[in-house]
Structure 1
Amino acid sequence: MASKIRWGVLGNAKIAREKVIPGMQKGELSVVTAIASREPEKVKEIAERLDIPTVYGSYEALLADPNVDAIYNPLPNDLHVPWSIRAAEAGKHVLCEKPIGLSVAEAEQLIAARDRYKVKVGEAFMAKTHPQWVRSLELVKNGDLGELRAMIGIFSYFNRDAANIRNSVEKGGGALMDIGCYPVTLSRMIFEGEPLRVASCIERDPDFGVDRLTSAILEYRQGQCVFSCGTQMAPYQRITILGTKAKIEIEIPFNAPPDKPTRLIFDGTRVEEFPICDQYTIQGDLFSEAIQKNGPVPVGLEDSLANMKAIEAIFRGGTSGKWEAVAG
């Protein structure tokens, strides 16, 4: 077996220390060898707890490490593209947290950097490679649902902490960018295409200015995706995919637990259970394999660009109150 890909992590984000790093450390092809933070004393404790051998006091020092092959970037949304470009310039492959950036223009800048520096760059939509979503797409493709008609979803949690970056407009916070991006990208996967147009309704927090409740209709050639996402609602998530003959219900579609099985329910009667797995382990190893074999990454930047075009259209619809075309 080829040597494991050596990963470095930018920052000490909660998702990194609680989910992505532990997941990668269970992988067959990935090893986390270094972490960087502008608060080195704080990150030393994290590195010790997670058994990460090297700690840097700056992002620049990590990018200069010749013993790091790839970078995981979980920085705040407004730093996704700038530091992913810096990593590409340093010759590092990059797995960047979702959303890929703040705009279509930023996604295009990152694509240009990827092509210029000849590295792998992808977006961390871990749910897309979880077995429950792989199976759902298979059922749709096989015609088990009949003709695909609709996907309906909800994703919510409660967070009104003024200090949290998810409540900062400048840092790209809000419901749509944080969690609404999941039903957008997964509906594009299930419908195997891009939405033609979108309609949306957005309610913004009166103090923070971020969208705290966003609902949207994405019109596809075969049907529609309808979803709501909220950051000031009871925590909940569910997806239903409906065809002309049957439906699929995914119980925990986005934050699938790494320590217990997950289930989808086919047409209300047949339960398909998926063995315990960590979607962050799967994501890390698939990306590492792409590096080793010079193949495509799980979620490439062309897909990220298309997702951002849909997200921008949803934001426009929330302002205009009209159907908005999705840029080609």
Structure 2
Amino acid sequence: MAAVRWGILGAANFARHHMAPAIHAAKGAELVALATSDPAKAVPFQAFCPGLRLHDSYEALLADPGIDAVYIPLPNHLHVEWTLKALAAGKHVLCEKPIAMQDSDFDALIAARDASGLLAAEAYMIVHHPQWQRARDLVQSGAIGRVEHADVVFSYDNRADLANIRNRPETGGGGIRDIGVYAYGSVRFVTGAEPEDLQARVRFENGVDTWAQVTGTFAGPQGRFSYAALTSMRLFPRQEVVFQGETGLIRLTAPFNANVFGEARVELHRPGLSMTVERFPAANHYVLQVEAFCTSVRTGAAYPCPLEFVRGTQAMIDRIFAAAVAVS
């Protein structure tokens, strides 16, 4: 079966360092084209993909008949527009998160996906990592009893880079859209639960959220449990997720930037100070994401993270912004 031929809209740093190499390395995928108006920005991509075709506009890349799928790493506020344009051009789409700016955007995205018969998905890579699949299996099999509490911390510090799109309101910046998607969606993925009530304390700088503390209650197959999440673009880097149950605890030590922030590990804590640790040193969730996408394109198999799931996380983000109490 022929490989899925990929093009990338824009020479973003994230694409250069992570997703372009992942597409190039993934089984069933072939990176064939890049759209950029600056040929100098293409040089690092051509270093590992010498035959890469260059297009000087996004429209030209979408018109290329030798491309089956596009990856979109553009600023957040452009995601819906270019996802819809790519689907209209007959291309499958993998778009960086968040694929939308609000829940209502999904009406057009899902309608275009269904009308075209193409695959459109958000690049929510963590669900493809075996550490998250293992955590979900443990929780849903009752390994820690009924879940009573989940808490998440995800922080980094980019205060020195005010030109960064994450620090700019006009590009859909802010910590909630950048990393809150992980703090919120990961708990939904593992537990199958949805938020019931939410409270939020949020610190804003220049029109973007830089610190957010979200608390509330989730309800799902195992009942209700309490929830707490802290995200920030102004704190020392930290990542950790804990699922606390009646009879045990699961802790992920590098949940979101596996093998960059640290080794991907799932700790299972049991009574009597017992702890079992599973390590995942070789897994690359970007490569696994591309391979899952290509498998769905090539075989018609259901994609593990459809837009309907992503929409649930965006709905939670909308509720958080609506409930936000600004703090200094």
Corresponding position of 1:294: 300
**Do structure 1's residue 214 and structure 2's residue 212 form an aligned pair?**
yes
Deviation at 1:306, TM superposition (A): 1.2
Corresponding position of 2:241: 239
> Alignment partner of 2:267: what SS?
strand
Give the letter for the 1:62 counterpart: L
Aligned mate of 2:44, from 37, 46, 49:
46
Corresponding position of 1:168: 168
**Do structure 1's residue 66 and structure 2's residue 72 form an aligned pair?**
no
Rounded Cα–Cα distance in structure 2 between residues aligned with 1:293 and 1:157: 39
**Do structure 1's residue 151 and structure 2's residue 150 form an aligned pair?**
yes
Q: State the percentage of identical aligned residues.
A: 34
The answer as to whether partners of 2:201 and 2:326 remain within 8 angstroms in 1 is no
Deviations 1:196-234 (A, max 9, x none): 2211110101xx220000111242122122110000111
Distance 1:169 1:260, change over 3 A: closer
Deviation at 1:273, TM superposition (A): 1.3
> Alignment partner of 1:162: what SS?
coil
Deviation at 1:97, TM superposition (A): 0.6
Rounded Cα–Cα distance in structure 2 between residues aligned with 1:265 and 1:255: 17
Deviation at 1:4, TM superposition (A): 1.2
Deviation at 1:69, TM superposition (A): 0.5
The answer as to whether partners of 2:253 and 2:262 remain within 8 angstroms in 1 is no
The answer as to whether partners of 1:5 and 1:69 remain within 8 angstroms in 2 is yes
Instruction: Report which stretch shifted further, 249-258 or 137-146.
Output: 249-258
Rounded Cα–Cα distance in structure 1 between residues aligned with 2:190 and 2:320: 19
The answer as to whether partners of 2:254 and 2:263 remain within 8 angstroms in 1 is no
Distance 1:306 1:123, change over 3 A: same
1:266-305 map, 5 Å: 266-267=268-269, 269-305=275-311
Aligned length: 317
The answer as to whether partners of 2:20 and 2:45 remain within 8 angstroms in 1 is no
Deviation at 1:320, TM superposition (A): 8.7
Corresponding position of 1:135: 134
> Alignment partner of 2:144: what SS?
coil
Distance 1:258 1:238, change over 3 A: closer
The answer as to whether partners of 2:156 and 2:232 remain within 8 angstroms in 1 is yes
Unaligned runs of 5+ in 1: 322-328
Deviation at 1:246, TM superposition (A): 0.4
Instruction: Report which stretch shifted further, 190-199 or 288-297.
Output: 190-199
Give the letter for the 2:95 counterpart: C
Rounded Cα–Cα distance in structure 2 between residues aligned with 1:259 and 1:185: 19
Distance 1:260 1:315, change over 3 A: closer
Corresponding position of 1:23: 22
**Do structure 1's residue 316 and structure 2's residue 322 form an aligned pair?**
yes
The answer as to whether partners of 2:90 and 2:116 remain within 8 angstroms in 1 is yes
Rounded Cα–Cα distance in structure 2 between residues aligned with 1:202 and 1:259: 25
Distance 1:126 1:227, change over 3 A: same
Rounded Cα–Cα distance in structure 2 between residues aligned with 1:149 and 1:249: 14
Deviations 1:25-55 (A, max 9, x none): 221111111111132x223312322315211
Rounded Cα–Cα distance in structure 2 between residues aligned with 1:112 and 1:301: 11
Rounded Cα–Cα distance in structure 1 between residues aligned with 2:299 and 2:172: 34
Give the letter for the 1:224 counterpart: S
Corresponding position of 1:120: 119
Corresponding position of 1:80: 79
Deviation at 1:261, TM superposition (A): 4.9
> Alignment partner of 1:135: what SS?
helix
The answer as to whether partners of 1:258 and 1:276 remain within 8 angstroms in 2 is no
Deviation at 1:260, TM superposition (A): 8.0
**Do structure 1's residue 196 and structure 2's residue 196 form an aligned pair?**
yes
Rounded Cα–Cα distance in structure 2 between residues aligned with 1:17 and 1:47: 6
Rounded Cα–Cα distance in structure 1 between residues aligned with 2:293 and 2:27: 12
1:256-271 map, 5 Å: 256-257=258-259, 261-267=263-269, 269-271=275-277
RMSD: 1.7
Deviations 1:291-323 (A, max 9, x none): 0111222321111111111000001110499xx
Rounded Cα–Cα distance in structure 1 between residues aligned with 2:17 and 2:241: 25
1:1-12 map, 5 Å: 2-12=1-11
The answer as to whether partners of 1:259 and 1:278 remain within 8 angstroms in 2 is no
Deviation at 1:106, TM superposition (A): 1.7
Unaligned runs of 5+ in 2: none
Corresponding position of 1:186: 186
Query: TM-score, with normalisation over the residues of structure 1?
Result: 0.93
